[in-house]
Amino acid sequence: MVLVALKKAIFGTEKQPLLRNTASYATMTDEEARLGLTDDDTLSQGSGSSGSSSSWVSPRVVSDMIIGLSDGLTVPFALTAGLSSLGDTKLVITGGMAELVAGAISMGLGGYLAAKSENDYYKSECTKERAVLKTESSEGESQIADILAQYNLSPETTASFTKDLQKNPTSMVDFIIRFGKGLEEPAEGREFTSAMTIGLAYFFGGFIPLIPYFFTAHVDDGLMWSVIVMLITLFIFGCTKTVISLGSDCGRGCITWNGIQMTLIGGLAAGAAWGLVKLIE
């Protein structure tokens, strides 16, 4: 089972099998025996892969949420703080809502175009690679050898793995694209998911600094409560973003510092906008 040995050497025990339709060898090879692999290892590895792949939230969705919230918590907050210096609560709410709608549409459109470009590029690279393999089969062998060279595998293992890949052109293209060019196939409907996630996250984040203005009669009171609410929100968001990004590897000091950084960035943006409007007045 050379492919099992190769997968173990390259991916460890966390990735799903690269080749979905490649048959296993009937007997263990020297390479597999050297690594100490058995059929039980293969079964346990497969069950571990299925468990790790059942995450209920895609990392790309989390990334889009962070992008939308980061801008939403900063830009509208700075705008409403600047508009508050004009002394009109209604103007702050109207201007803030207009910016929220326009900003959410703009951010969502940007996310859609970025995801679509990524998908188009992936398809283009796959098409080019298929064309190359059709005309020059030796080119594919050379690319696979270059990819596997970094793992210090034996020539026999490399040759056997390449031979099996050649039986399935789709898997061969997938391997070269994924590990040779570092491209992952985008999820189906990624464009619309990205657009909705970024747009809604931006609107939600930007609506928070507007809330106090709905419940205060004077714009100065609304600004004060808006600043308090947003400083707390920015700190919580900075800490949460750090935990999501780094997981359990980061300590409390790192989490706290990133929360403070996010608070300072939002505060500086709001202060700059407020001061600029005051200067113009």
Hey, is 57 helix, strand or coil? coil
The reported pLDDT for the residue numbered 202 is 94
> For the residues of 2-47, what is the DSSP string, one character each?
HHHHHHHHHHTTTSPPS-SSPPPPSS--HHHHHHT--HHHHHHHHH
The reported pLDDT for the residue numbered 280 is 75
pLDDT for 38 beyond 70: no
pLDDT for 227 beyond 80: yes
| 85-139 residue pLDDT tens | 888 888 999 999 999 999 999 999 999 999 999 999 988 888 888 888 888 777 7
The reported pLDDT for the residue numbered 3 is 43
> What span, in angstroms and rounded, lies between the C-alpha atoms of 34 and 17?
20
Mean pLDDT of the chain: 77
Contact at 8 Å (CB) between 77 and 99? no
| 168-226 residue pLDDT tens | 888 888 888 888 888 888 888 889 999 999 999 999 989 998 999 999 888 888 888 98
Is the pLDDT higher at 45 or at 165?
165
Q: Which residues contact 20 (CB under 8 A, 6 or more apart)?
A: 171
| 11-32 residue pLDDT tens | 444 444 444 443 333 334 444 4
> What span, in angstroms and rounded, lies between the C-alpha atoms of 255 and 262?
11
Tokens of 177: 């694209």
The reported pLDDT for the residue numbered 57 is 60
Tokens of 57: 């939230």
> What span, in angstroms and rounded, lies between the C-alpha atoms of 32 and 36?
6
* Residue 210 identity (one-letter amino acid): L
Hey, is 215 helix, strand or coil? coil
Give the CA-trace dihedral at 225, 227, 233, 239, to 10 degrees: -140
* Cβ atoms within 10 Å of 34's Cβ, excluding its own: 10
CA distances from 70 to 92, 188, 202 (A): 21, 26, 8
N- to C-terminal Cα separation, the chain:
77
Spell 151-166 as b/e; 16+ CB within 10 A means b: eebeeebbbbbbebbe
The reported pLDDT for the residue numbered 5 is 46
Contact at 8 Å (CB) between 116 and 191? yes
pTM above threshold 0.75: no
DSSP code of residue 84:
H
User: How many alpha carbons lie under 13 Å from residue 272 in its C-beta half-sphere?
Assistant: 9
The reported pLDDT for the residue numbered 132 is 82
Hey, is 119 helix, strand or coil? helix
**Can you give the three-state secondary structure of 144-212, one letter per residue?**
HHHHHHCCCCCHHHHHHHHHHHHCCHHHHHHHHHHHHCCCCCCCCCHHHHHHHHHHHHHHHHHHHHHHH
Phi and psi for 14 in degrees, rounded to 5? -105, -25
Q: Which residues contact 264 (CB under 8 A, 6 or more apart)?
A: none
